[in-house]
Amino acid sequence: MWFALFISLILFALGIGLYLRHPKFGRLPGGADLERIKNSPQYRDDQFQNRIPTPQFTGEKSSSSVLWEFLFTKKERLRPVDAIPTVKTDLKTLDRGKDILIWLGHSSYFIQMGGKRFLLDPVLSSYAAPVSFANKVFEGTNPYAADDLPEMDYLLISHDHWDHLDYPTVTALKPKVKNVICPLGVGSYFDQWGFEKRRIHEADWFTALELDNGVTIHVLPARHFSGRLLSRNKTLWAGFALVTPQRRIFFSGDSGYGPHFKEIGEKMNGFDIVLLDNGQYDKSWANIHMMPEEAAKAAEELKTKALFAGHSGKFAISNHPWDDPLKRIALASQNKNYRLLTPMIGEPVDLEKEQQVFSRWWERVN
C-alpha cells in the first residue's frame, strides 16, 4: 500500500511538472535578454520595482488570512444573475479613417486612431486563469472571437497577468498582428509563442516609440506587480499613451493610485480620454488596484476630458459586488471637469463626438 501511494505521488508530481511546461505559462527573460533588462532603473535586487514602496497586501490582516477570506468567505453578488447586455459591432467593416474606441470587456480595448488599429490587453477566452474552470466570464460578455478582429497594426500588452495576457487569444491573433509593444521582459513570452523578433518591441517606462503618420506610443509607469506562476516581478508592468496630431489617449493598465498619475498628466499635457483601472479592488490589496474614488482623482490629475473606467464587468477576481465599480465611479464622477463614458461591451465610442451619451446599462442587470 505504501509503495502504491509513493508511486502515485511520484506520478502526480510528474504530471504537475509536465503541465507547468505548457507554453501558456510563458518563458521568463534569460541570457542576453535578462542582461539587457538589468540595465533598467526599475530593475533592482533581481526584480522590477515600483517607484514608491508597494506591499502587495495592506491592512492589519496577514497574507494567509487574506487568502483564506478570498477563497472561502461567502461573498454577495460577485456575478450577475442576468446576462450582460452587449453590442457586437462589425470591427472589420469600420472606416479606418474614423477615430473609434470599443471596449471588449474588462481591460480589453479596440482603438482606431490616426489611421492605425490598436488592440490593448485582449482576453477573448471564456476564462482568464491557468485552468478553464477558474475565473469564468460573466454570461454574455464574450461576443468577440479572434476571427472577428481585423488585421491589427499594434498589439499592446500592459503586463503578464492572466486577465491581460491571454495565451489562446494572442496565439490565435498571431497572423493578424503586425507589431507587439510591451514592457521589458514581456517580449520573452511572445518570442516563445512564435512571434518574429522583429515584430516584438519591448520598452521601459518613459520611452516614446515613434510610429508613422505622426503616431507615438509612450510607455509609462504603473503601480502594480507581475508574474504568471510563482516568480514575481521578473517582467515589467506599464501604462501607455497613444498620441496622434489630433488625439491623446492614456491606458493605465493595472495600477494602484500613486503620484505617477499627476506626473504623467503634467508631462503629457493632459488627455482626451483616459482608460483607468477601476475594479477587482480590495482594502487588503489597496496598493495595486484603485478604488473608484481614486480612479476619479487620478482622472483629474491626468487632466482628461473624458474617463472610461474599466477592469470590471466581465470577471469576478475580487470580493466586491460585480456592479460596485460602476455604481461608485458614477457617483465619484459627479460634478467633475471630465465626462464619464459608460458604453456597453462592443458599443462604439466615436472619438470625434464629445457629446455622445451612453446609458447606465448595469442598472438593468440583476
pLDDT tens digits, 138-188: 999 999 999 999 999 999 999 999 999 999 999 999 999 999 999 999 999
Other CB atoms within 10 A of residue 248 CB: 21
pLDDT in tens, 222-246: 999 999 988 999 999 999 999 999 9
C-alpha cell at 21: 511546461
Quick check: 4 pLDDT over 60?
no
Q: Could you give the 3-state DSSP secondary structure of residue 243?
A: strand
pLDDT in tens, 262-316: 999 999 999 999 999 999 999 999 999 999 999 999 999 999 999 999 999 999 9
Which residues is 55 bridged to in the sheet?
none
Average pLDDT (111-137) is: 95
Cα(276)–Cα(297) distance, integer angstroms: 11
Q: Which of 16-25, 209-218, 250-259 is the least confident region?
A: 16-25
Cα(118)–Cα(110) distance, integer angstroms: 6
Q: Which helix (H) or strand (E) holds 99?
A: none
Average pLDDT (324-341) is: 98
CA angle 269, 271, 273 (to 5 degrees): 170
What's the pLDDT score for residue 213?
A: 84
What's the pLDDT score for residue 208?
A: 97
Closest Cα to residue 274, out of 262, 285, 283, 284?
A: 262
Cα(354)–Cα(272) distance, integer angstroms: 9
Average pLDDT (97-123) is: 97
- Domains (range + CATH), the chain: 91-364 (3.60.15.10)
What's the pLDDT score for residue 3?
A: 54
Length of the chain: 366
> Cβ neighbours of residue 276 under 8 Å, at least 6 residues apart?
252, 255, 290, 295, 298, 299, 307, 308, 309, 310, 311
